[in-house]
Amino acid sequence: MIRRLSQARERGIPEATVARLPLYLRALNGMAERGLATVSSEDLAVAAGVNSAKLRKDLSHLGSYGTRGVGYDVEYLIYQISRELGLTQDWAVAIVGVGNLGRALANYGGFVSRGFRVAALLDADPEVVGDHIAGLNVEHIDELEAVIRRRGVSIVVLATPAVAAQQVADRVVAVGVTSILNFAPVVLSVPEGVDIRKVDLSIELQILAFHEQRKADRMSGGPAMAEEWPEAVDL
Amino acid sequence: MIRRLSQARERGIPEATVARLPLYLRALNGMAERGLATVSSEDLAVAAGVNSAKLRKDLSHLGSYGTRGVGYDVEYLIYQISRELGLTQDWAVAIVGVGNLGRALANYGGFVSRGFRVAALLDADPEVVGDHIAGLNVEHIDELEAVIRRRGVSIVVLATPAVAAQQVADRVVAVGVTSILNFAPVVLSVPEGVDIRKVDLSIELQILAFHEQRKADRMSGGPAMAEEWPEAVDL
DNA sequence: CTCACTTTGTGCATCGGTTCACAAAAGGAC
DNA sequence: GTCCTTTTGTGAACCGATGCACAAAGTGAG
């Protein structure tokens, strides 16, 4: 009994599950807006684009929040997932690099909507320092450490050119930041305990291109044809 | 023997491997620029931020392009990976939705660099239609089908508001597009055979927040404390 | 209360991916 | 040629994630 409970809630929600929770949360918010009080795992799974068994197993990692024969209470589940993800608190985010991408991120509504607050914009280019973007003043990168400390920034978004990213990462880690969202196309090296998530637009396109090519090959060449190995090419 | 060979090259490179190939490619390009002729799996793995056994297994799925005791020929490996990913051909990309994000994408250098060519920008807002961005004229969304056909667009990037995304997806799929990169925060439903990759900025932040919260909990509460389940909360 | 129905939570088989660890292959010294 | 060193390519064990399928738990009708 005790065992059962702690087994479910014990430290350690699978990473794959964590990555899907925001998806469920979004689907649930849509449902709440449409006035639904409860939802079955089947319906929620469809809305989130996953299989219902997976959804149930994911939710079971948070606890036993459903009612058999009925489903899940929408509002309650929203609260539980939000709490698990840490969205019930306010996160101050700093965006470093105010080029096209940084600007887009600063204006992106999805950040603010869920507990995230853009607390600072920083750039090295004197040309853009002082600009007003999304209600914020762009500050000079020299202020990086001071700004992070002063405004309690705990998550840093890197939208700098590739060459600057590692340097900025080192500096923010040195002031105690342990969560970085990196848009620069470089492999950052950071000490143990610092979490990095990487978003790489060009990699996504390359993966699509791979599959697109496969589909094209299949059309013409037929399935699993030979001539797959066009005698070695010299360079 | 024959078995061995076809086993390696046969259709079906693991998805996880495909997702890492672009990473290797980038590391290799850096090395080529610095004039390195060959590289060991160990060195390349470090540069790409992965474990060397994984790298070797990944590369073994493409074929046997290394030399034992020596390593891999940098240029040759670049060529082989590029070919496998389909980057030796030219891909025409259309970006739909020219808001802040669409603009950032249009100007993003990483696209052009690897066989991708932004061939069209489209938007529904008459205010932005006609604008000149990154050397391209923004066209009206009514032209969507015509533009895709005329310019041989095979990959579409969705940077529209959430509400418009499904509608645009339906239209591009109807004209034969089978690869979509979606930045809109919605679960798109598309027919079998259409590949979708999703980039969701807010989800990435939520995942970071989850881990950040965990780290904070660990600091204060100590490891795996009780009081983890603050008696049920009514709503 | 009992029965029929719904839907959750999970044990179990399975699958894909990661990592280890080593035999096989290549190169260089002598 | 033989021996020693380096480094690949891969068999095999392991690990986490997925999905099936069902018992357990709940609702509602009569």
Distances (CA, A) of A138 to A143, A170, A175, A202, B105: 11, 21, 20, 27, 21
What residues does A39 pair with on adjacent strands? A72
pLDDT of residue A151: 98
pLDDT of residue B1: 31
Q: Which residue reads 């930045």 in tokens?
A: B183
Mean pLDDT across A58-83: 97
Annotate chain B with DSSP letters as a single string: -HHHHHHHHSS---HHHHHHHHHHHHHHHHHHHTT--EE-HHHHHHHHTS-HHHHHHHHHTT---EETTTEEEHHHHHHHHHHHHTTTS-EEEEEE--SHHHHHHHH-HHHHHTTEEEEEEEES-TTTTT-EETTEEEEEGGGHHHHHHHTT--EEEE-S-HHHHHHHHHHHHHTT--EEEE-SSS-----TT-EEEE--HHHHHHHHHHHHHHHHHHHHH-TT-S--S-S----
Q: Which two tokens stand for residue A161?
A: 């050119």
The phi and psi torsions of A135 (rounded to 5 degrees) equal 75, 10
Report the amino acid identity of residue B21: L
d(CA A69, CA B187): 27
Report the residue from A25, A75, A207 with minimal CB separation from B235.
A75
Q: What is the mean pLDDT of chain A?
A: 89
Per residue in A108-133, pLDDT tens? 888 777 789 999 999 999 999 999 99
In A, residues 56-115, which contact B (CB 8 Å cutoff)? 63, 73, 75-76, 79, 84-87, 89, 91, 93, 99-101, 103-105, 107-108, 110-111, 113-115
Instruction: Tell which residue, A197, A152, A164, has the closest CA to residue A179.
Output: A197
Q: Which two tokens stand for residue B54?
A: 């994984």
Query: Is there contact between B4 and strand D, defined as CB under 7 Å from any strand atom?
Result: yes
Query: Is there contact between B42 and strand D, defined as CB under 7 Å from any strand atom?
Result: yes
pLDDT at residue B9 tops 80: no
A119 in contact with chain B, both atoms CB, cutoff 8 A: no
Per residue in B20-37, pLDDT tens? 999 999 999 999 999 999
Mean pLDDT across A57-64: 97
pLDDT of residue A67: 96
Which positions in chain A touch B119 (Cβ < 8 Å)?
Answer: none
d(CA B164, CA B158): 9
More confident residue, A220 or A59: A59
How would residue A228 be classed by pLDDT, with cut points 50, 70 and 90?
very low
Percent of chain B residues topping a pLDDT of 90 = 82
Nearest CA in chain A to B83: A210
d(CA B23, CA B62): 15
How would residue B227 be classed by pLDDT, with cut points 50, 70 and 90?
very low
Dihedral angle at the C-alpha atoms of A143, A146, A151, A156, nearest 10 degrees?
Answer: 60
Annotate A67-117 with DSSP letters as a single string: ETTTEEEHHHHHHHHHHHHTTTS-EEEEEE--SHHHHHHHH-HHHHHTTEE
Q: Which two tokens stand for residue B151?
A: 């310019």
pLDDT at residue B2 tops 80: no
Strand C: positions under 7 A of a protein C-beta atom? 5-11, 16-21, 24-27
How would residue A12 be classed by pLDDT, with cut points 50, 70 and 90?
confident
How would residue B10 be classed by pLDDT, with cut points 50, 70 and 90?
low
pLDDT at residue A231 tops 50: no
pLDDT of residue B11: 56
Q: How close is the nearest chain B Cα to the Cα of A11, in Å?
A: 6
pLDDT of residue B116: 95
Which contiguous run of DSSP H or E holds residue A160?
Answer: none
Per residue in B78-117, pLDDT tens? 999 999 999 999 999 999 999 999 999 999 888 777 789 9
d(CA A115, CA A125): 29
pLDDT of residue A110: 80
Burial B129-152 (b: 16+ CB within 10 A, else e): beeebbeeebbebeebeebbeeee
How would residue A204 be classed by pLDDT, with cut points 50, 70 and 90?
very high
A and B: number of Cβ contacts within 8 A: 201
d(CA B146, CA B140): 11
pLDDT at residue B226 tops 50: no
pLDDT of residue A114: 76
Mean pLDDT across A13-36: 97
pLDDT of residue A230: 42
Q: What is the mean pLDDT of chain B?
A: 90
How would residue A35 be classed by pLDDT, with cut points 50, 70 and 90?
very high
What residues does B123 pair with on adjacent strands? B140
Q: Which residue reads 């939520």 in tokens?
A: B206
pLDDT of residue A10: 52
CA atoms within 13 A on the CB side of A230: 5
B2 CB neighbour count, 10 Å cutoff: 6
Query: Is there contact between B68 and strand C, defined as CB under 7 Å from any strand atom?
Result: yes
